Amino acid sequence: MNVAGLVAVVAVTLATISLGLYGVRLARTTSDFLVASREVSPTWNAAAISGEYLSAASFLGIAGLVMKNGVDMLWYPVGFAAGYLALLLFVAAPLRRSGAYTLPDFAQMRLASPRLRSLTTAFVVFIGWFYLVPQLQGAGLTLGTVTGAPYWVGAIGVAVVVTANVAGGGMRSITFVQAFQYWLKLTAIAFPVAVLLLAWQADRRTDLAPPSAPTFRVVTDVDVRAPVRVELGEPVVVRVDGRLDGVERSGSVPLAPGVHEIGPATVTFPADAPVPHLVGLAVRDGVAWLTPSTTGETALFGVYSLILATFLGTMGLPHVLVRFYTNPDGAAARRTTLVVLGLLGTFYLFPTLYGALGRIYTPELFMTGNTDAVVLVLPGAMLDGFAATVVGGLVAAGAFAAFLSTASGLLVSVAGVLATDVLGTGDVGRSAGSVTGFRWAAVLAGAVPAVLALQLHGLDVSQVVGLAFAVAASSFCPLLVLGIWWRGLTDVGAAAGLLVGGGAAAIAVLLAVAGPELGGWPAALVAQPAAWTVPLAFATMVTVSMATRRRIPANVGATMLRLHAPESLRH
């Protein structure tokens, strides 16, 4: 039980709620609720976008993946940031000028088809929920690591706090909250790592990547709460207090190489002992960890697929697009995005360092498989006393801010879409809603992923997020890019592209999460689908649009003018 961590988590939650309440006093009408009346300044907006975007995957997941798999995983943060460059180049200003608040709005505005609108709504909800689940999982993991509370407490707790906040305040409050969250997260990742690097310096700069497989530096007590099956490479004598291979033990036990079942137990490993790792977790030795593993064809395919998914998927995430509506005009949307690129680039310098230090100072995470927790446990492992308390509390606060902000943003957009397109009373073209409708939609939007998060437990946070990106890149990216830059797009073509490309990516995602065990190329194609589903989506949209050329909207010229002409021409 870490008291400082608990205090930090409670403080962040209270600050989020009170900032939300402050916003409620300003939120009066539905338009206030949803778009903050477009009075948000670019700096606030950029901080809010970044705060909303830096999720559990960024704050915890990247460090965990780097610790486990090494340099290859740096493509995740690079791609997460590059996604905003793609958004800046192809989408930002025209999207703002379209006046669309959500993706269904954009589809409606560009192609005027109610059925296409419904289809995009379905995809927004699917991607939004799929992205919300790992946030709640991360919350469960954090609260569990910090307080020892069961997984469901954190997952459900965050779902309730965020739902209440969104239902009560809407977007106006969320803008303040999100901007605050960015600076909190940056502080919470940058300051602790500076302290940790000083500790590493004082530790005579231990080699971060010795050529061997990970070993325990010092005598280490590993507290295994839930039973795990681990694999051991070399024999080692350990002290066990608890269950080992189905027998209650207390005292010294020689462990032979091979598979052992441990837990619940406390196991004490001697210094320099090799770290047993979870069965199925491929731990790399120092050399493999340091170098890019792009030797095999499937590995190279996986890296490029991931790059494509993150580069093109960002623009299709529902909570990202909503933010562009709060810019006053297209040029401001561009400048905001540029500031976002800088803010995200600054943040992403830090998670890698946690991953590298984690290999040396918290190798026991390989044993429990909980590498996502490396950011949270590293301060306790490297520092003592007061420093460990303060720094540990700070990272816990940052992690919690990550779930709260991303989950809030996702919930606002999913609830907005549900309120207008599913619960809305008016006809689809003139989407109308009410404050009460939005509140009910928020409750519905929060309840479903909360239930899902309880069902799907042991998935890797960053990987699930990566799959959500793949679906977004194969559905909304082609819709936006072709819709903005190509006059020839038709409603039938767009729908076909969404169904074929987005559908293929969604099926691949479901197979990767819940399907049978695959190997070789089928596994690579399913685990990182973007490299084949994105071209498929673009090709389908273009081909079908060309075949249905008569359905090109008559006003496409006026729409293009509106998307691309600067606002100064609209006297």
Among 346, 454, 523, 548, binds other proteins (CB under 8 A): 346
Residue 353 tokens, joined: 């360092």
> Under the criterion CB under 8 A, does residue 440 sit at the interface with other proteins?
no
Nearest approach, Cβ of residue 84 and other proteins (Å): 8
Helix (H, G, I), strand (E, B) or coil at 299: helix
Q: Which two tokens stand for residue 405?
A: 């902000």
Per rule CB under 8 A, is residue 348 in the interface with other proteins?
yes
Query: How crowded is the C-beta side of 380, counted as CA atoms within 13 Å?
Result: 18
Alpha-carbon distance 197 to 161, whole Å?
Answer: 35
Among residues 447, 462, 380, the alpha carbon closest in space to that of 146 is found at 380
Shortest spacing between CB 304 and other proteins, in angstroms: 6
* Of residues 141 and 344, the one with the C-beta less far from other proteins: 344
Integer-rounded Cα Rg, in Å, for the chain is 24
According to CB under 8 A, which one of 172, 260, 323, 334 is a site residue for other proteins? Answer: 334
Site for other proteins in 300-329 (CB under 8 A): 300, 303-304, 307
What stretches of 203-243 show up as alpha helix (H) in DSSP? none
Site for other proteins, residues 62 to 81, rule: CB under 8 A: 71, 74-75, 78, 81
- Parallel, antiparallel, or unpaired for β 277-278 and 228-232? antiparallel
Identify whether 264 is preceded by a cis peptide bond (ω within 30 of 0): yes
Nearer CB in complex with other proteins: 272/297: 297
**Dihedral angle of Cα 467, 473, 475, 478, to the nearest 10 degrees:** -170
Binding of other proteins by 295 (CB under 8 A) = yes
Q: Which stretch binds other proteins (CB under 8 A): 175-183, 338-346, 380-388, 531-539?
A: 338-346
User: How many other β-carbons are positioned within 10 Å of the β-carbon of residue 250?
Assistant: 12
Q: Which span (92-100, 147-155, 488-496, 544-552) binds other proteins, by CB under 8 A?
A: 92-100
The DSSP code for 348 is: T
Choose between 281 and 435: whose C-beta lies nearer to other proteins: 435
Q: How many residues does the chain have?
A: 571
Environment class of 429 (CB within 10 Å of its CB; exposed 0-12, middle 13-18, buried 19+): exposed
- Which one of 17, 40, 67, 88 is in contact with other proteins (CB under 8 A)? 88
Kindly write down the DSSP assignment for every residue of 183-196, as one continuous string: HHHHHHHHHHHHHH
570 near other proteins (CB under 8 A): yes
Decide if residue 34 touches other proteins (CB under 8 A). Answer: yes
Rounded to 10 degrees, the C-alpha dihedral 341/344/345/348 comes to -160
One of 22, 90, 183, 440 touching other proteins (CB under 8 A): 90
Report d(CA 109, CA 391) in Å as an integer: 49
Q: Does 566 bind other proteins (CB under 8 A)?
A: yes
Q: For residues 376-435, which are near other proteins according to CB under 8 A?
A: 419-420, 424, 429-435
* Nearer to other proteins (CB atom), residue 252 or residue 425: 425
Q: Does 47 bind other proteins (CB under 8 A)?
A: no
- The CB-of-331 to other proteins minimum distance in angstroms stands at 6
Number of chain residues interacting with other proteins (CB under 8 A):
70
Shorter beta-carbon distance to other proteins: residue 11 or 71:
71
By beta-carbon proximity to other proteins, the closer residue of 262 and 344 is 344
Distance from C-alpha of 502 to C-alpha of 495, rounded to nearest angstrom: 10
Decide if residue 85 touches other proteins (CB under 8 A). Answer: yes
Rounded to whole angstroms, the Cα distance separating 284 from 338 reads 37
Q: What 8-state DSSP symbol labels residue 1?
A: -
In 3-state terms, what secondary structure has residue 266?
A: strand
Smallest distance from the beta carbon of 1 to other proteins, in angstroms?
A: 35
89 binds other proteins (CB under 8 A): yes
Q: Does 528 bind other proteins (CB under 8 A)?
A: no
352 binds other proteins (CB under 8 A): yes
Q: Which of 185, 323, 335, 439 binds other proteins (CB under 8 A)?
A: 335
Give me the residues paired with residue 137 across strands. Answer: none
Note whether 569 binds other proteins by CB under 8 A. Answer: yes
- Distance CA(163)–CA(157), nearest Å, equals 10
Q: Is 197 in the site for other proteins (CB under 8 A)?
A: no
Tell me whether residue 151 or residue 182 sits nearer to other proteins (CB atom): 182
Positive or negative, the Cα torsion across 354, 356, 358, 361? negative
Query: In this structure, is the dihedral angle defined by the CA atoms of residues 295, 375, 383 and 264, taken in order, positive or negative?
Result: negative
Distance between CA atoms of 61 and 64, rounded to whole angstroms?
5
Contact with other proteins (CB under 8 A) among 53, 59, 101, 126? 101
Q: Which residues face 229 on adjacent strands?
A: 261
Residue ranges in 227-275 assigned as alpha helix (H): none
Q: By CB under 8 A, tell whether 93 contacts other proteins.
A: yes
542 interacts with other proteins by CB under 8 A: no
* Residue 541 interacts with other proteins (CB under 8 A): yes or no: no
**Nearest distance in Å: CB 326, other proteins:** 13
CA gap 81, 97 in Å, rounded: 23
Compare residues 81 and 383 and give the one whose CB is closer to other proteins.
Answer: 81
Least Cβ distance, residue 201 to other proteins (angstroms): 13
Tokens at 15, concatenated: 């600050």
Residue 341 found at the interface with other proteins (CB under 8 A): yes
Nearer to other proteins, 390 or 443 (CB): 443
Whether 481 contacts 106, CB under 8 Å: no
Specify the DSSP element, H or E, that contains 26. helix 3-26
User: Residues in the site for other proteins, rule: CB under 8 A?
Assistant: 28-31, 34, 71, 74-75, 78, 81-82, 84-86, 88-90, 93, 99-102, 105, 108-109, 290-292, 294-295, 300, 303-304, 307, 331, 334-335, 337-338, 341-342, 344-346, 348-349, 352, 419-420, 424, 429-435, 485, 557-558, 560-562, 564-566, 568-571
